[in-house]
């Protein structure tokens, strides 16, 4: 059977912001997929199980089984989808704008998220103020960068990979009770994106593994 006929499987956790990025990409591109929930808290973290380690040695979600391979790392997955299923595109056609979309994505994915996630919090001793501090520093820079790149969304008026990173990061900021008032551009873009169906169906409060009390 051709691998293209096999439905992709996304290993995901409802609350993982990295998983949400990929769920948005799959929704925007209209790719049907199955979800395999991996609970990052239960059983000491199901991502550490022998079973899941065989899927992804990085012991992280998301991982995507697709076209006969298993990929991990959200941006690598999104860019693979972009190169194999180009419509609608998630990277602008203009090369400078593409670079800016990647720059904003990397800023969030490697500059903010790792310094506020579970691994980090365990190591600093659950110091929420460091997580808040790191998000705040990151958002301060992002707000300035968006002055130069944004239209309705992060890069002009077309949804791009940067937007797929922005919305889950703003959601995390809200969970950490970061004051978003100093970031009017971030807040405006986030609001506009949350109006789109792909961002709604992929939302953490609406996944197969979302606990009943968190569903909306």
Asked whether the beta carbons of 72 and 57 are under 8 A apart, the reply is no
CB of 118 to a copy of itself, least distance (A): 12
- Tokens representing 3 are 């691998």
- Residue placing its CB nearer to a copy of itself in the complex, 89 or 206: 89
Angle of helix 161-175 relative to helix 74-84, nearest 10 degrees, comes to 150
Q: How far apart are the first and last CA of the chain?
A: 39
- Residue placing its CB nearer to a copy of itself in the complex, 121 or 180: 121
> Rg of the chain's alpha carbons, rounded to an integer?
17
Cβ-based burial of 70 (10 A; exposed 0-12, middle 13-18, buried ≥19): middle
Asked whether the beta carbons of 20 and 203 are under 8 A apart, the reply is yes
Phi, psi of 141 (to 5 degrees): -65, -45
- Tokens representing 138 are 């990151």
CB of 31 to a copy of itself, least distance (A): 15
CB of 180 to a copy of itself, least distance (A): 18
**124 CB contacts (<8 Å, ≥6 apart)?**
130
**46 CB contacts (<8 Å, ≥6 apart)?**
38, 39, 40, 52
CB of 53 to a copy of itself, least distance (A): 8
CB of 200 to a copy of itself, least distance (A): 26
- Residue placing its CB nearer to a copy of itself in the complex, 27 or 91: 91
Query: Which residues of the shown chain bind a copy of itself in the complex (CB under 8 A)?
Result: 57-60, 67, 69, 71-77, 79-80, 83-84, 95-96, 98-100, 102-103, 105-107, 109-111, 113-115, 119-120, 123-124, 127, 130, 134, 140-141, 144-145
CB of 106 to a copy of itself, least distance (A): 4
- Residue placing its CB nearer to a copy of itself in the complex, 59 or 136: 59
- Residue placing its CB nearer to a copy of itself in the complex, 35 or 47: 47
- Residue placing its CB nearer to a copy of itself in the complex, 139 or 199: 139
- Tokens representing 122 are 């365990």
């Amino acid at each position: 059977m051709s691998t293209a006929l096999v439905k992709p499987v996304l290993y995901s956790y409802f609350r993982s912001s990295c998983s949400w990025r990929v769920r948005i990409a799959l929704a925007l591109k209209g790719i049907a997929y199955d979800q395999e929930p991996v609970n990052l808290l239960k059983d000491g973290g199901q991502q550490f199980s022998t079973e899941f380690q065989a899927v992804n040695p990085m012991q992280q979600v998301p991982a995507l089984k697709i076209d006969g391979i298993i990929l991990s790392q959200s941006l690598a997955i999104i860019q693979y989808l972009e190169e194999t299923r180009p419509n609608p595109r998630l990277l602008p056609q203009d090369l400078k704008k593409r670079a800016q979309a990647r720059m904003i994505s990397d800023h969030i994915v490697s500059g903010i998220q790792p310094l506020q996630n579970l691994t980090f919090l365990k190591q600093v001793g659950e110091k929420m103020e460091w997580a808040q501090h790191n998000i705040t520093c990151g958002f301060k820079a992002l707000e300035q960068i968006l002055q130069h790149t944004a239209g309705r969304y992060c890069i002009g008026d077309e949804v791009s990979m940067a937007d797929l990173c922005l919305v889950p990061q703003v959601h995390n900021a809200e969970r950490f009770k970061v004051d978003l008032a100093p970031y009017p551009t971030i807040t405006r873009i986030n609001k506009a994106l949350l109006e789109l169906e792909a961002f709604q169906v992929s939302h953490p409060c609406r996944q197969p593994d979302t606990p009943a009390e968190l569903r909306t």
